[in-house]
Structure 1
Amino acid sequence: MEAPPARAQPLLPITLPRTIDAIKAYSPCQPLTIIVASYPKSGTTWMQNVVFELVTLKRFRETGERIELDHISNFCPFMENDKSWVFGEDGVAVEGLQGNHAVAHAKVGATIFNSHVYLDMMPSDPSVKLLYMTRAPRDVCNSFYHHLSHQAAEDGGYEGSREEFVRDWSDGKIAFGAWGDHLRSWLNEDGSCKVENCLRVDYADMKADLRSAVQATARHLGMRELGVEEMEDILPRLDISYMKENIDKFEPKSVTWVDKGDGFSFVRKGAIGDGKKEFGEEDEKVFLEGFKKFPPPPGCSGLMGG
């Protein structure tokens, strides 16, 4: 199947043209630069936590220093949040990252970002380690609705009904565009990454065997594999229940959240198959029509069952 032509990517109001320019022009300033990328709600924060644990383990191996997590956004800022960057007096030329991020990165000896933009917007330096997360689209859509419906409207939150969201999501009208387009921007037709410095990690694989996913990520970052004691030390902090209990360390600071009194938490259940359970008959019809318009790479067809 021939890939459809590229479409412009819709973004949140917190992203400006100068923000995209800053991302594209970014030059690594630490020995290790890592970008956790994905279509939203594909396990991004979970992988950010894995990366934090790995880079702090690397630091401990080198210096014996233990670094505690205060907030994941300090160590792994949202790359397309304009407020992550410091611009010059002309308001265009980028001078670097905000001080809290620069301090955190110096502390761990690595620069870490998370991002939801297309691959062609990424820094072109091949030394940057890219991690691309994928997840079953029904779960992505379902989780993204819960997320955006609790995000302030001025920051790009969604105020329509769930049924309206599924339709807009399937039509590629939600921030970050169509899921199929996003995957095609990062992946080849067979589902492999388009660039050698990128590792694709699937959410379901992390759920099935987190240890193997952590080891594969460590190898991609140029680290030696974790020993038994090292793995046993970090695994409890990578558990979804730990992240939910410590939500103050993981809820993004880049947007404002709306409390609707319904018990919403940015870190929800992390379950597989909830999207399929919550989809109604009309949702499923709209969802499948969307994939005719914005198909993912054929090599990602295995994700469609969830």
Structure 2
Amino acid sequence: MNTKAQPLLPITLPRTIEAIKSFSPGQPLTVIVASYPKSGTTWMQNVLFELVALKRFRDTGEKVDLDHISNFCPFMENDKSWVFGEDCDASGLQGNHADAHAKVGATIFNTHVYLDMMPADPGVKLIYMTRAPRDVCNSFFHHLSHQAAEDGGYEGSREEFVKDWSDGKIAFGSWGDHLRSWLNDDGTCRAGNCIRVEYEDMKADLRGVVQATARHLGMEELGGEEMEDILPRLGIEYMKANIDKFEPKSVKWVNKGDGFSFVRKGAIGDGKKEFGDGDEKVFLEGFVKFPPPGGCSGLVG
């Protein structure tokens, strides 16, 4: 397992990490979707919300609507997600998160930290997302260059970003280190309570990913009518059209007048299209310094 110190955003404090490690589930079902940033985290958050909302409807007949994904699935390493006492010990989650979790009878989080920072409870369900790294790097550049500097945003050029990304000098460290913290060398999850989901599989077979995720949560698979009901709300276009429900509240955003949206295109291969020759050379050098697990080498291409 990776034992390197992980670079994190300014919104994460030492007490935040302690709160994560010591978290004790307050609902019968607790699920954490983890990833290196821009690997389909928000997309999977949306899948998880729809599944736990469906489970609630099956169990009680109560329908729960999404107001904002951050209420139901808070960013685990955002210090503002937690309530702390005078001794800096976390006493629980902020009221909006606790209330949202009570509505669906499940606790959901998203995170970008290493596996060794996760709660020790083996009953917590973990989902680890992976995505082709050129697309990850490209999307993370667009993301951080529109995030406020005081919250860890990036103010350098694209070329500088690719160099810093390859050197593991940006928030959350290197892509290879992150994957190695969560995955064995054959690409399988280190934790027995974890499944790995590839972004590309969500693009190719969203129905199949939804069913596999439901099984991981201990739910019966979705019937035809149930699947047809939720699929329209899981599409990238739906998320873009309803960006007010999906743009994270954990950081501030900078409007540069260039039409940036937190949910962009969700395309496969855009990273390679936007890379220049210099970007590609620097990008590949990063895998010599921080190689991913052997079972993930196909993602590099």
TM-score (norm 1): 0.98
Letter in 1 for 2:235: D
Aligned runs of 1:1-306 on 2, under 5 Å? 6-90=3-87, 92-305=88-301
- Show CA shifts across 1:9-39 (max 9, x none): 0000000000000000001110000001000
Q: CA deviation at 1:89?
A: 1.9
Please give the alpha-carbon distance, in whole angstroms, between the structure 2 residues aligned to 1:301 and 1:295. 9
Q: Distance in 1 between matches of 2:162 and 2:186?
A: 27
Counterpart Cα distance in 2 of 1:228 and 1:285: 47
Distance between the aligned counterparts of 1:212 and 1:272, measured in 2?
A: 18
**Aligned partners of 1:205 and 1:301: how far apart in 2?**
16
> Which ranges of structure 1 fall in alignment gaps of 5 or more residues?
none
- Distance in 1, matches of 2:4 and 2:119, equals 20
Structure 2, unaligned runs of 5 or more = none
- TM-score, normalization by structure 2: 0.99
Q: Deviations over 1:52-89 (max 9, x none)?
A: 00000000001111110000000000000000000002
Letter in structure 2 aligned against 1:262: D
Q: Is the 8 A contact 1:10 1:174 kept in 2?
A: yes
Identity of aligned residues (%): 84
- Native 8 Å contact 1:37 1:132 kept in 2: yes
CA distance in 1, matches of 2:125, 2:108: 9
Find the aligned partners of 1:77 and 1:103 in 2 and give their Cα distance: 12
Residue by residue, what CA displacement relative to the aligned partner does 1:210-266 show, whole Å, maximum 9, x if unpaired? 000000000000000000000000000000000000000000000000000000000
Q: Is the CA contact 1:137–1:304 (under 8 Å) kept in the aligned structure 2?
A: yes
Contact residue 119 and residue 186 of structure 1 kept, 8 A: yes
Letter in 1 for 2:241: E
Distance 1:116 1:94 in 2: 20
CA contact (8 A) 1:71 1:250 kept: yes
Rounded to whole Å, the distance in 2 between the matches of 1:41 and 1:283 is: 18
Aligned pairs, number: 301
Deviation at 1:151, TM superposition (A): 0.2
Matched AA of 2:142: H
Task: Determine the C-alpha separation between the residues in 1 that align with 2:81 and 2:135.
Answer: 29
Q: Secondary structure at the match of 2:101?
A: helix
Instruction: Give the Å deviation of 1:93.
Output: 1.0
SS in 1 for 2:108: strand
CA contact (8 A) 1:6 1:181 kept: no
Dislocated runs of 4+, deviation >6 Å: none
Secondary structure at the aligned position of 1:78 is classed as coil
Deviation at 1:6, TM superposition (A): 3.1
User: Over residues 127-159 of structure 1, what are the superposed CA-to-partner deviations in whole Å (9 max), with x where a residue is unaligned?
Assistant: 000000000000000000000000000000000
Instruction: Give, as a single letter, the amino acid of the residue that structure 2 aligns with 1:226.
Output: L
